[in-house]
Amino acid sequence: MKLLITGGAGFIGSAVIRHVLTQGQDSVINIDKLSYAGNLDSLDPVLPSQDYSFYQLDICDTTSLQEVFHKHQPDAVMHLAAESHVDRSIDGPGAFIQTNIVGTYSLLEAARQYFENLSQEKQKTFRFHHVSTDEVYGDLENPDELFTELTPYAPSSPYSASKASSDHLVRAWYRTYGLPILITNCSNNYGPYQFPEKLIPHMILNAIQGKALPVYGDGSQIRDWLYVEDHARALCKVLAEGDIGQTYNIGGLNEKKNLEVVQTLCSILEELLPDNPYSASSGKGFAELIEFVKDRPGHDKRYAIDASKIETELGWKPEENFASGMKKTVGWYLQNTAWWQSILDGSYKLHRLGEQV
């Protein structure tokens, strides 16, 4: 299979590419704008590979997208390119509207035109897989309630509203034009190669540097945490075996309060770094770095996914529990200082050369 992946230099996209290329059966065409969070260093473990091509381009550039489709003739599209940080969407929603809505429209149009010119045999196997988030559902007030694939959309932030819009566009292209689509909505991802602005890597890096660990409000917000490599397996499973036109929720089955997440990684750091300079000099544990700060506007209280559909129909379930996944994640950041140091000092931006369309 030739798989065209958008956003393949991002956190989840790079995990999918590493998974696909490690299997050694399929080839990947990676399209990424390389915005601030795109990092080609995240693909170093599987490159160079003759089964990989990269193009640095914006998914809003329909003409360039069409040229990539024409050149590579992909068998499927997995659309992960997105602006995804809620705080940034509150400060500057325009970029989220442009990439997540306009960009998805441009990609859908390029894919539709390509699909309509395929042979009937090729059309039967072509797939457009749109990767989305559980944040489109809003939040849950009932502690026993879970997001299902039928939960009504009620987004709270510019980010989640833009992703909800893109979901609707994808479904419309299926209903109106017959584009064979799949949609997945996932819970909060964590794991290796996550950009340091996100909660877990941000707290790890702050802690080992002896900096404050800022927690919104009282830290009681609940999220379902999904290890990124489990997510990559799920996405490939849905692409290969999912029913056209269907939505699949992907969850880690690990509901945790934000404060509990931070406390857990502090405990792991105490175990893995008993001689950390911060602890040695201050005589304090990492948990004493926790500080409660003003809550985020429109902060959803609880997300929780019912992932029974993907388990029942496709046989997928997460391999990592929260304890094992968190220990792997903290250990990875401790062992891969060069990767995140290059982000902190900005040198990762130098690795930005792709093929020309």
User: pLDDT of 197-211, one tens digit each?
Assistant: 999 999 999 999 999
- Which positions are catalytic? 134-135, 159
Q: Which amino acid is at 130?
A: H
Helices (H), the chain: 11-23, 62-72, 86-91, 94-96, 104-116, 120-125, 158-177, 199-208, 228-241, 258-272, 277-282, 308-314, 322-335, 337-344
Predicted local confidence at residue 85, as pLDDT: 84
Q: Is pLDDT above 90 for 82?
A: yes
State what percent of residues in the chain have pLDDT above 70: 96
pLDDT of 354 strictly over 80: no
Handedness of CA 192, 196, 200, 203 (dihedral sign): positive
What is the Cα–Cα distance from 206 to 287, expressed in whole angstroms? Answer: 12
**Band (84; pLDDT cuts 50, 70, 90):** confident
Mean residue pLDDT of the chain comes to 94
pTM given for the model? 0.95
The pLDDT of 165-170, averaged and rounded, is 98
Domain ranges of the chain: 2-189+226-252+302-319
Start-to-end CA span in the chain (Å): 21
User: Does domain 2-189+226-252+302-319 sit in CATH 3.10.20.740?
Assistant: no
Whether the per-residue pLDDT at 99 is higher than 60: the answer is yes
User: What pLDDT, on the 0 to 100 scale, is given for residue 349?
Assistant: 85
261 neighbors 254 (Cβ within 8 angstroms): no
pLDDT of residue 357: 53
Residue 351 has pLDDT above 70, yes or no: no
- What is the predicted pLDDT for the residue at 284? 79
- Residues 45, 336: Cα–Cα separation, whole Å: 12
Judged against a pLDDT cut of 90, whether residue 276 lies above it is answered with no
